[in-house]
A and B are shown apart, each in its own frame.
Chain A
Amino acid sequence: MITFKRLSIAMTVAALMAGCSSGVKLDETPVTDKSALSSGAGTGGANGGATGQSGVAGVDLTQSGGDQAGPQGVSRIVYFDYDSYVIKADAQPQIEAHARFIKASPNRKVVVEGHTDERGGREYNLALGQKRAEAVRRSLGLLGVSDAQVEAVSFGKEKPAVQGFSEDAFAQNRRAELSYR
């Protein structure tokens, strides 16, 4: 039974290799690449080479970095109605304040992060959160903000501001956050 002889070889090898298969810990900075790399090691597997073809070498990501403040006294969170992806009239002054702030310093970069409430699928909510982020990006664009200064991304339902399944929690989670970087 060739198959099981192979299995045996593998297990012997695995036993030899098991000693050097400890998990990988990354204590470095987060990924900042802005283009897709075509090959080579990514940000993970620092010492993963020793585990052969079929072990699992763990990778541990440690995050750094934080948001810088936006315009003083202006909320960085824009709320949306249920199943809505348009900016409410009462949020317009808030968007205008951010637009002025961004235009005042051409080096300023802002990432608009769209979020949804926790109902529904993860990927579909990611697409819905993207629609909220794009709505804010477009509004900033209409107010003269350069497209190069704004990126719209989505967290879908992955980062709720408030936990829970109440209507109030859902309302607080349907939002776009302006994150200055």
Chain B
Amino acid sequence: MGRLRLPSPYFSLIVWGLMWEIVGRSGAVDLIPPLTDIAGAMVELTRLGSFWEALVVTGKGFALGLGLAVIVGVPIGVLMGLRRTADRLLSIWVDIFISAPLTALVPALMPLLGIGQATIVATVFLFSVWVIIIDSQAGIQQVNRSLVEMGLVFGADRRQLLYRVILPAALPEIATGLRMGVIRGIKGVIIGQVIIALIGFGGLFELYLQGFLMERFWALVFVIFGLAFVLIGLVERLEKRIEFYAATR
């Protein structure tokens, strides 16, 4: 028993990588080039001006959309947590859009906003804003009742109660919403670009598939996966820190 150790999670990754390499080397499937070639293409990719341009465009679209979603989503969620009227008016919309397949909306956005960055920003916004609203509202609603009473007993006015008690107490939940918003926003920006197929990584994907540059195609896929993991990891760390800071017992 003592000798048996569970394989590391990376073990399975390595096995699949090897299989990929073998299939790729055999040349049986045109769509699957060997992994080593893809790795080479990744290095190549970083030397391409078009890749960096795409990265900047994507980053901008993502940041703008997410920024808007935070600026709009957090206050709306907070308001819905504080005021029952706001909750009544808005919760039905939030419930619809949180689970709706928003990808279907992107083609509808194009004639409205044009085939460009504006549509990407709107897509990111639409993907991320709802979860930010929901978690902000939940955060406010979960604030410990006696913390609110404490604030009132010690003379807090509305402003003080909101900024010194309620918002800080809701912060961990709001941060969770932010993390979920980032995850959804990444999906949004890539889906938007792929559908539009002209700008950013979407344009590159289109180019590589048209030219059947499969090494580059896969290299780009892996790079985007990697970037997403790194970004989400960073946001997770931020969330942990906020949770620690506002540790609720």
User: Is chain B found bound to chain A in the same assembly?
Assistant: no
Taking Cβ atoms with an 8 Å cutoff, the residues of A that contact B are none
Taking Cβ atoms with an 8 Å cutoff, the residues of B that contact A are none
